[in-house]
Amino acid sequence: MTPETAAAYSLLTAEAVRARAHHLLAIGLQDKLPHFLIDTDRLTSVADLVLAVTCEAYPTLDVPFHSRWRQFVFAGKDRWRAVADSSPWRDVAARARAEFDLVITSVFLDAGAGPRWRFNDAATGTGIGRSEGLALASLAMFVDGAFSGRLQERLRADADRLRHITAADVARGFHVTTANPLVGLDSRADLLRRLGEVVAAHTDVFARADAPRPGGLFDHLGALAINRSIAAPTILAELLHHFGRIWPSRLVLGGVPLGDCWWHPAMVTADATNQLVPLHKLSQWLAYSLIEPMQRAGFTVTDVDGLTGLAEYRNGGLFIDSGVLVLRDLTLAIKPHEVGSPLVVEWRALTVALLDELAQVLRGHLDMDAATLPLAKILEGGTWAAGRRIARERRGDDSPPLQVVSDGTVF
């Protein structure tokens, strides 16, 4: 392995995301970042808001982990559980593979939908936008067998089928029309095709117990477990290593695609990773979402707090809208910005670090620790919902405080 390749792999970890985010926060606290001023005194009022939002949804503070599974619950009904509990699985592993298939395809379709798009939900007769709409649309496609290569087995995703998914397929499943546009439609379909290609090409990982399918990752992770126990950061590392080539062409170091990793001039190091800031938002969202299928199949997932907060616009918007982060140039709030711009990278990295700081404040308020109030529960309770609430209060349409040009594969 060359030094550059080793350096690249060092960025494909949750530890690297956290360390580099906190490095930028430290620079910001010295007032040396180009785009944001930081007022950590406001974290106390943010903690009060997050706690209030959390107690409304979970009065006993019995908060589940932040994951895609929460968004399959709508109008009081857990739609996936209703399907899964009535299906004749051969064993717990068969259900786990299907749940991996579902959540992997769903998360890959998850990046921001844009303000105008709605999924027309037949069960309730309502139009549902944003993340909840994306979740229910992808679930409906999965349950209808849109990703399956077997006529008699709908609840699965097969590499061969995914390799031939078209933008028209996604548009049909997501009810996209000229009057109901979805941001990044072509990119989402391309991401699923890339997923199919990677899964088909790596049968040692994805076809241990079945034909090549994303759900084969369950068997791979199971083989890595020791005494049926696996650490959450290990799940993330495997996702980053095996799915790295799925993401659109971005930064590559030593022949290794770096995925959701970007340049920022303040992130100075003495090696080949100079100015590189890894964030891995969708991959971490997916890692959080794979915990529950592993647990249902009888595995223990440890070190959940080894994952980081998610660098996305709800959590990030919470810190801008609450005044923890203040733009040096306020006119930048009215201009669109590319996702790889230093401004957006700085915002996202500070979001990751500030979520850790906020977690400490919340735990202090509640006399709890990381074991009793892990970050995964704070995100769910939590910061994401508080970010949406304050966005709605400030702008009415739930839009984030910064305009980010999305290709449907990051936010």
Provide the domain count of the chain. Answer: 1
Q: Quick check: is 383 in a domain?
A: yes
Which tokens go with 258? 């770096």
Give the chain's largest Cα–Cα span.
61
Structural domain includes residue 207: yes
Respond yes or no on whether the N-terminal peptide bond of residue 382 is cis (omega within 30° of 0): yes
Is 267 within a domain?
A: yes
Between the alpha carbon of residue 329 and those of residues 74, 326, 333, 334, 389, the distances in Å are 40, 9, 8, 10, 25
Distance CA 199, CA 214 (A): 6
Distances (CA, A) of 366 to 61, 351, 370: 10, 22, 11
User: Residue holding tokens 């759900």?
Assistant: 215
pLDDT for 283 equals: 92
The pLDDT value recorded for residue 250 is 81
Any idea of the CA torsion for 51, 353, 280, 1, to the nearest 10 degrees?
A: -150
The pLDDT of residue 411: 59
User: What pLDDT is stored for residue 396 in this prediction?
Assistant: 84
What's residue 113's pLDDT? 72
In angstroms, rounded to a whole number, what is the distance separating the alpha carbons of residues 247 and 259? 6
Say what the pLDDT of residue 198 is. Answer: 96
The answer to whether position 235 is within a domain reads: yes
Question: Is 411 contained in some domain?
Answer: no
The answer to whether position 199 is within a domain reads: yes
Amino acid at 300: T
Domain that holds residue 396: 3-405
Read off the tokens for 37. 């001023």
Q: Residue with structure tokens 């709908």?
A: 154
pLDDT computed for residue 87 by the predictor: 96
Q: Are strands 229-231 and 300-302 parallel, antiparallel or unpaired?
A: parallel
| Contact present, 44 and 266 (Cβ < 8 Å) | no
Residue 410 lies in a domain: no
Q: How far is CA 366 from the centre of its chain?
A: 27
Helix, strand or coil, per DSSP, at residue 62: coil
**Is 107 within the bounds of a domain?**
yes
What pLDDT is recorded for position 249?
66
Could you give the CA distance from residue 87 to residue 90 in angstroms, rounded to a whole number? 9
* Element at 121 (helix H, strand E): strand 119-121
d(Cα 294, Cα 111) in Å, to the nearest integer? 24
- Walk along the chain (411 residues) and give the pLDDT tens digit of each residue: 899 999 999 999 999 999 999 999 999 999 999 999 999 999 999 999 999 999 999 999 999 999 999 999 998 899 999 999 999 999 999 999 999 999 999 999 887 777 789 999 988 999 998 888 999 999 999 999 999 999 889 999 999 999 999 999 999 999 999 999 988 889 899 999 999 999 999 999 999 999 999 999 999 999 999 999 999 999 999 999 999 888 876 899 999 999 999 999 999 999 999 999 999 998 999 999 999 999 999 999 999 999 999 999 999 999 999 999 999 999 999 999 999 999 999 999 999 999 999 999 999 999 999 999 999 999 999 999 999 999 999 998 888 999 998 766 665
